[in-house]
Amino acid sequence: MSTAATGARGRPASPSRRAATDPLAGAVFALLVLACFGAFFLTQRLKHTPTAVQEIRLTASFAPTAAAGGPTETMSFHIAKNDDVTVAVVDGADDAVATVTADHPQRRYRRLRVFWNGHHGPCPAPTSLSCASTESGPLVAPGVYRLRITLIHEDRTLYSPDSFRLLAPSRTGT
């Protein structure tokens, strides 16, 4: 074997070839660093943005009566921005069993309290906060239910993280 052949194998790449790959590698590295900084700042901003619906309060269980004017489930929350709010009670399949309030104008950080009597049906008065005495459809089947809160102007639908159990109807008021 000649010295030229063995020397060529042990030598690093030529300077012209190294110069062609270095700018590309530098640009990719700079792009990755910028993307990491952008992701960091976006994450920090999202961590400090208030959630749209806050402090949802539900009772763990509720026993309705067959009479439409019986006891009610009281549910409350507040929102971070002024908006019109629709609140529905939904079952496990995300089907609305009752619309508790529809298109209610709600101010930010004011607690909204809504009431439900355990009966099927829509809220007949769109801005009414209590459909408890007016919903006269049949009782909803016992089971687990959640709130579906729709913020009209934000075009967002959110669900309560907690659910409540609708018990079999109580004998009172029948």
pLDDT digits (tens, 9 = 90+) for 118-145: 888 765 544 445 454 445 678 888 999 9
Q: E-strand spans in 51-174?
A: 53-57, 61-62, 73-79, 83-90, 96-106, 112-116, 143-151, 156-159, 164-166
173 inside domain: no
Mean pLDDT of 28-52: 85
2, two tokens: 């000649």
Do 76 and 133 share a domain, yes or no?
yes
**Is the model more confident about 55 or about 12?**
55
Do 71 and 147 share a domain, yes or no?
yes
Do 29 and 59 share a domain, yes or no?
no
Domain extent at residue 35: 3-47
Do 70 and 133 share a domain, yes or no?
yes
Q: What is the pLDDT of residue 129?
A: 53
Do 86 and 146 share a domain, yes or no?
yes
pTM over 0.75: no
Residue 161, domain CATH: 2.60.40.2550
